Structures are given as structure tokens and as C-alpha cells.
Amino acid sequence: MSDLLRAVPLAAAVLLGVAGSSVAQGWREEGSGGAFGRPTGMSLRLGLQGVFLVQGEVADGTNVPDYDDAFKQPGFGGLLEIAGRVSPEGSFHVGLGYVFFPGDKWQGLEFDDWSWLPFWVGGKGHLMRGGDLDPYVRLDVGLAWSSAVDIEVPPFGSGDHWQTSVLFFGDVGMGVSIQPRGTNASFFLEVLYRFSTGPEGDQNSNQDGDNIGILVLSAGVSFRIRPR
């Protein structure tokens, strides 16, 4: 696993380098209009997220809670992405985020809060060649640091349930970006379905969480960064 953890950031750097090289070439060839009919270049994207746990149980066995029973819905988070538009049809991105799920109660059990620090790389397929409206589909792959979670059983105290884990996930979704004329900023809305591996149990495999189905709603702003 340690080799994979080192390989993912390296792959992200390679993808970003390729995207940046292609983008810079587009700017050199056509100036602010890009080489492809829609402005190309690097952009910085900032957003807020609502995150819903829609599939999976928190442990193996019968009569165990689903994720959405153990944690209040929706969770919330934020994202930061660096994206490179290389053509009217395609762009690459590298992103970091933070996701927080407040713990909830289920049949006398009190679950601790749960947080993620995800990292991802991916691409977008853009569906229109020009105009202020830019709809797209996107695919991502990534990994996330997942915090340890305790369960409290009043009045007996708390016990460890999940240990700190590394989760692997993939996203598929769609979104739309709207750019007011004459500006270098645009606003985006996205909906993603994320499928992730589950967290590891602290004591034994019966505590392992199921694979997780997650619905992610994002809204934010993107700032285009022109090369000098």
C-alpha cells in the first residue's frame, strides 16, 4: 500500500505537467482565445460540498446500522482543485478536500464524528464548444485518509470501532459551469456518485465497514489563471 500511496501523487504530478504543457502551448498559439475555440489555461477551483452516505453498513453482521444511521446527514466539506483546459472537449484536474460527518445515535450507541481528507485526479469531458454555459461529465480516482471512530455505549463507556484508514474511491458525475462575459471567474454546480472502500476495524475484520456509496453535491467558483 505504501508504494501505491507514493505512486498516486507522482501520477497526479505527471498528469498536471502534461495538462500544463498543452495548455501553455494553446495560449502561445492563439493568445487569450486558446488554440481550440474556447479559452484554455489553468484554473483554480474552490467549492463547498454536501455529502450523503447512501449505501453500506458500518460493520459486518446482522442488526448493524447503515452509515446514514450512524452519522448525521448530510455531511459537509470543501474542495480545492487545480484544473487545466487542453481543448474544447477535455480538461484535467488534481484536487484536495475535507469532509466531515457528525456522529449520531442508533439504538443506544453513540458514534464519534468521522472525517476524511481526500485527494483525487481526474478529467472532464466538455459537451459544448463555446458560450457562457459549459456542461460536462467527469471521472475521478483517488484516496482518502479516514479518521478513527469510537462508539460509546452509555453507561459503560466508549470503545474503538474503526482505526485510521486509507480509503480508495472513484467518482462519476456531471456538472455545469457558468462564466459571466468579460470575467476570468466562473461558477459551477456538480453532482457526483462516489464509490469507496470501507474503513478498517480496530480489533477485527467484523468491525470493517462495507464499501460505501456516496452522493456528493458541490457548488463553487473557478478562477482562470493566465500564464505570463
CB of 211 within 8 A of CB of 197?
A: yes
- Note the helical H segments in 52-124: 67-70
Q: In what order do the strands lie in the sheet with 109-111?
A: 105-106, 109-111, 149-153, 157-162
DSSP 108: T
The residue segments making up the domain with residue 50 are 2-225
What is the pLDDT at residue 55? 92
Nearest to 217 by CA among 114, 72, 76: 76
Q: How many domains does the chain have?
A: 1
* Predicted structure pTM score: 0.79
Q: Is 71 helix (H, G, I), strand (E, B) or coil?
A: strand
CATH number at residue 217: 2.40.160.20
Backbone angles phi, psi at 25, to 5 degrees: -65, -40
Mean pLDDT estimate for the chain: 82
Nearest to 53 by CA among 74, 33, 38, 29: 74
Q: Per-residue pLDDT averaged across 172-191, rounded?
A: 91
Residue carrying C-alpha cell 485510521? 164
**Per-residue pLDDT tens digits for 27-83:** 333 334 433 345 568 899 999 999 999 999 998 878 889 999 999 999 999 999 999
